[in-house]
Chain A
């Protein structure tokens, strides 16, 4: 994945010979995390490259606050990052659908330009109406930025007591096609048909990402979850792509399991699974179930990786009933932001913020309402900030 990334970004520079010759005059500077302008070098680390790189090393990130409790929790995260002196500059945009020139609802051009420029985004919860209405905004964002893999690490948190201990599962889900293609028709009155699309290209991409992720994060096993006994051709293709990729990563154990078996075993003994890779619908359901095992959507980070960048988001709802009352829990968005920092390779900052957050959760003194405490969002934020030092 990183090789393609570098290639795409460096092509314009390679083509321009002037720049090449100019650079020969410069000596390679000993780099540190807040290094100077790296655009001239041939080796650009995957997470750092981007057109919006400042010379001071500050990284610009698109911020989408979202609806409901979105604005409050993004403010909380911004405060925490400011206190931790994380070198990030936020570029806030609004993704409320606007009617485009063709009459269809879509994301405003300003938001698209921002994410294309910055290549990294952090998103709060967006609202999707049930039933008739414009297509899900979340789906539209995914299609627009070609975010093909959704990663959701579910890890039991110290201090949050659930019926399941020692859960450490990562669900990787294909994000663009499958059952969520949105292709539906009513052929005959009373008969509705919905099409599930599986392509070789997308399956290969997500399988490769899964194995690469497992290797990068020192995971031991990848399990492909499917229903190829029933959906022979579609899930069969997905399975074949996974098997093919498995041969290229012999250091990682690969197994394939039926969806029902995985569900059955997951609620009995979650330690049996490590990294799960699956098509869209199963991934949606499994990732939500796994986050239920560790304490709910309010505590689960989520990242969407694409060819041209990454978008990290909190996956809970907009909670309109508690919006504006300072009762929201920013942990999910905070953990996603920490995931983003790791993706950008700001590892020391990520560790610091994460340790502060875990400590506050372990202490259990200023937790918000959904975690069983009585604290307010601002108190929780302040507690984390105080633990940063």
Chain B
């Protein structure tokens, strides 16, 4: 991976001399942020050793905005109850401030701890030069794959039943490159960047994921009939990699057809692979089919770091503080995190309790069609753990 990146570095004249240094080579004059956003070909990784404190893991917690803080509170309550060996390092990011110091600090802690749990971070400023903080976090940590496991909850009434789709979405480039400029007054250009290396990494991730989890089919979602070069590159890469995994079926579908099929016949999909924007759309559609934004959790994976968050990345400012937010998404994210760290016993405890609360007892918040409040749901989960 590093070798391939270095071969691209040689093209840029500023770093021809530096390219022979360590894999964390980066021009000294550019800050980390600029490196990530102005030079999308280079992915500079300054690796800080991951800290481990006597069997307990330290995890960065980024509450974010909206319903984030209250959900994080619930997660902490549950962890305290079951005595999970996880210590949270909370970093609050102020949405109103224009500078990025908070975000830098958050990134440093995640690099130190290796794992993070986050809510959705608001970026209130609408100024064009302020990058979205969530995007900045993902790009800086090079978390190139986003996995959303969508499994139907039997206890939630939906129009479609028994859906089991995994969505794997390219997380760092594509339409979210955030390279925009106004060349002429009234005409704005926004660039969508697709690189061969990133496409290959995420495609390989998807196929390995499918292989390891016993999945049978990978569908690549694209719009290569219109965006022939960019989505064409993504599609070609996934087709090329599909040949290396002959026992996994591969097909591709155009995004508009895909959305139409999802609302009519979602059972034909197994693992779906796509670029950033389409991933956003498809994950929201599938979450909607399954009963709302409050149930599923997503995982951001990079080569070195992993961050877990609620699946649809909504801040939920409209329902913040009213005790009706659905805590299940955040709790599921924390379960994923425990699994990732290897604490399977605790993860299973919480998972079974959540399963029982949702599907057997059917204690759900209003967005899923129930009448309970958030605290009711959390108490019910804690009650179910006790059994």
Which residues does A use to contact B, with CB under 8 Å? Answer: 128-133, 136, 139, 162-164, 179-180, 182, 184-186, 188-201, 227-234, 236-237, 259-261, 263-268, 281, 284-285, 287-289, 291-293, 296-297
Docked CA distance A289–B182 (Å)? 32
> Is the pair A260, B189 in contact by a Cβ cutoff of 8 Å?
no
Contact A199 B186 (CB under 8 A): yes
- The interface residues of chain A lying within 8 Å CB-to-CB of B135 are 230
- Are B255 and A285 in touch, CB under 8 angstroms? yes
Asked if A230 contacts B175 (CB within 8 A), the reply is yes
Contact of B192 among A193, A199, A232 (CB under 8 A): A193
B366 to chain A, nearest CB (A): 13
Interface of A is mostly: mixed
Select one of B127, B178, B191, B281 contacting A285, CB under 8 A: B281
Asked whether, in the complex, the Cβ of B227 is within 8 Å of the Cβ of A268, the reply is no
State in angstroms the CA–CA spacing of A234 and B314 once bound together.
21
B61 at the interface (CB under 8 A from A): no
CA gap between A232 and B194 in the complex, in Å: 19
On whether A233 and B182 interact (CB within 8 A), knowing A131-B224, A192-B194, A196-B192, the answer reads yes
Q: Does B128 make an interface contact (CB < 8 A)?
A: yes
Tell me the B residues contacting A by CB distance below 8 Å: 8, 11, 40-41, 123, 126-128, 130, 132, 135, 159-160, 175-176, 178, 180-182, 186-197, 223-230, 232-233, 235, 254-257, 259-264, 277, 280-281, 283-285, 287-289, 291-293, 312-314
Q: Which of chain B's residues have a CB closer than 8 A to the CB of A264?
A: 284-285, 287-288, 292-293, 312, 314
Say whether B226 contacts A136, CB under 8 Å.
Answer: yes
Give 21 A-B contacts (CB < 8 Å), ordered by A residue: A129-B225, A131-B232, A163-B159, A191-B194, A192-B194, A192-B230, A195-B192, A196-B192, A197-B190, A227-B277, A228-B126, A233-B188, A234-B188, A237-B188, A264-B293, A267-B263, A268-B292, A285-B259, A285-B281, A288-B256, A289-B262
Task: Report Cα–Cα, A179/B70, bound state, in Å.
Answer: 38
The interface residues of chain B lying within 8 Å CB-to-CB of A293 are 263
In the bound complex, CA of A189 to CA of B195 (Å): 9
What is the distance, in angstroms, from B36's C-beta to the closest C-beta of chain A?
Answer: 15
Residues of A within 8 A of B175 (CB): 179, 196, 230-231
B225 closest partner in A (C-beta): A130
**What CA separation (Å) do A268 and B158 show in the bound complex?**
8
CB neighbours of B312 from chain A (8 A): 260, 264
- Nearest chain-B residue to A200 (Cβ)? B186
Residues of A within 8 A of B159 (CB): 163-164
Q: How far is the CA of A145 from the CA of B316 in the complex (A)?
A: 43
Report A-chain residues with C-beta under 8 Å of the C-beta of B188.
197-199, 233-234, 237
Q: Which residue of B lies closest to A129 (CB)?
A: B225
Cα of A185 to Cα of B123 in the assembled complex, Å: 31
A234→B191 CA distance, assembly (Å): 10
CB distance from A158 to the nearest CB of B (A): 18
Establish whether residues B229 and A186, one from each chain, have CB atoms under 8 Å apart when the complex forms: yes
Residues A184 and B229 in contact, CB atoms below 8 Å apart: yes
B288-A266 in contact (CB<8A): yes
User: In the complex, what's the smallest C-beta–C-beta distance from B17 to chain A, in angstroms?
Assistant: 19
Q: Is the CB of B186 within 8 A of A267?
A: no
- CB B12 to nearest CB in A, in angstroms, measures 8
Q: Is the CB of A194 within 8 A of B314?
A: no
Q: Which of chain A's residues have a CB closer than 8 A to the CB of B123?
A: 229
Check A230 against B228 for contact (C-beta < 8 Å). no
B181 touches A233 (CB 8 A): yes
**Which residues of the other chain, A, contact B186 by a CB distance below 8 angstroms?**
199-201, 237
Shortest B356–chain A CB gap in Å is 25
Establish whether residues B263 and A289, one from each chain, have CB atoms under 8 Å apart when the complex forms. yes
Q: From B8, B261, B287, give the contact of A190 (CB < 8 A).
A: B8
The interface residues of chain B lying within 8 Å CB-to-CB of A234 are: 180, 188-190
Q: A136-B226, A233-B128, A234-B188 are in contact. Are A191 and B40 (CB under 8 A)?
A: yes
